[in-house]
Amino acid sequence: MSTIPPLNALLDLPLVNLSSGDGPLNGETLGVKDIFDVAGMRTGCGNLQKYDESAPASRTAPAVQNLLDAGARFIGKTQTDELAFSMMGQNTHFPYPVNPKAPDRVTGGSSSGSVSAVAGGLATIAVGSDTGGSIRAPASFSGLVGLRTTHGRISLEGAMPLAHSLDTFGWFAKDIALYEKVGAVLLGPDASDFKLNRPIFFPLLEHLLLGEAEDTAYRNMYAIVSGHLGHARSARQPTASMDDLYLCLRQVQAFEAWSEHGAWISAKERNLGPAVKERFDYGSTIDLETYQRQMTRRDLFRSELAGLLKDDGIMVLPTVPGAAPLVSTSFEDSQAYRERCVRLFCLSCLSGFPQITLPLGEVHGAPFGISLIGPRGSDRALIKLGRAILSGIERT
């Protein structure tokens, strides 16, 4: 029988118990992605020079502190892709975290250590973030629930920014019941009593699936969701094409990332991994006029999607194009997979609306998720809906 190698998920271990030991998360263990400050520990951001140049944090990031105050026990920092600017979970400077559900495949990033820690049973909860897909991809790759929260709903104070207009707080948990408990602690009540009962879809998105096996697996997941929600209707495409939206996300993210980190990167040789360096180099070429033009395009798209969803709509789509790429996948093929992912991720990223991925499928013997996008502020309603769908499977 084969065994899973060490997970390589945890980096720094705490010197003190930071939990209050009381509250709704009492007894749960917590890993924290190493872009979030934890009092008394350095924040390394997946880069050895960043770690060496940082001082121990004087206070814990407020969102993380909320989990500790609710009784979760901090067990350590988790690995992240370098400066959180990657999607595969393969940081050049560290051994790669292992995907416990598919050890020959990547975990996904940049929340790679957090997803590995939860999927492998090292922690029951782990904090991550999602700028361009860093909760949704790892969750789908590793067979977990993952929510990209409504942009701005959970504080990112005490976290390393990547792209401020896209960055969101996220987490993984051992099951949907615990996921919902964490959501209650972090999110507070939704903006209104959302009734998410009008499913829609963009047919073009399903063409991003990798092949026949992926299409069949997605159809099986869709059947489960439609059994709960009813069949989705095809929605009109937004004014911008998917290629336009893809480029919009890439340029907005790259411009903001370079604005945040460019001075530090340019100060001296940083030995960035090749894929990360390429993305920052691209950001350095985006001028302010291009950025502003793309932000105008983004505003129009957000308005159009809000008009489609209103307060009862729910968009159904594949989370990713298929199973996680193999660890041995070439750089070029990984990049091609990533490009497909960006097209799937850009709807939630550009709108700022919440998206949840549910572990309903499998393809090529590996996990594969389906996603639901809800109106702005419907995060807890999405989690509740996800729990109902998953509970229905457990009863059958």
Q: Catalytic positions, please?
A: 33, 110, 134
Pairing of strands 366-373, 355-363: antiparallel
Phi-psi region of 212 (alpha: psi -120 to 50; beta: other; left: phi over 0): alpha
Angle at 367 between CA 361 and CA 369, to 5 degrees: 55
CB-CB contact of 306 with 375 (8 Å)? yes
**Are 105 and 99 a contacting pair, CB within 8 Å?**
yes
- Cα–Cα–Cα angle for 95, 101, 103, nearest 5°? 40
CA-CA distance, 57 to 350, in Å (whole number)?
A: 31
**Three-state DSSP state, 51:** helix
Sheet holding 125-130, edge to edge: 73-78, 29-33, 125-130, 168-173
- The one-letter code for the residue type at 257 is A
Cα–Cα distances (Å) from 256 to 203, 291, 350, 352, in that order, read 31, 9, 14, 16
Distance CA 78, CA 94 (A): 12
Best CA proximity match to 342, nearest among 68, 14, 41, 88: 88
Phi, psi of 360, deg, nearest 5 = -100, -10
Calpha distance 396→390 (Å, rounded): 10
Candidates 6, 214, 217, 1; CA nearest to 100 is: 6
**Cis preceding linkage at 165, omega within 30:** no
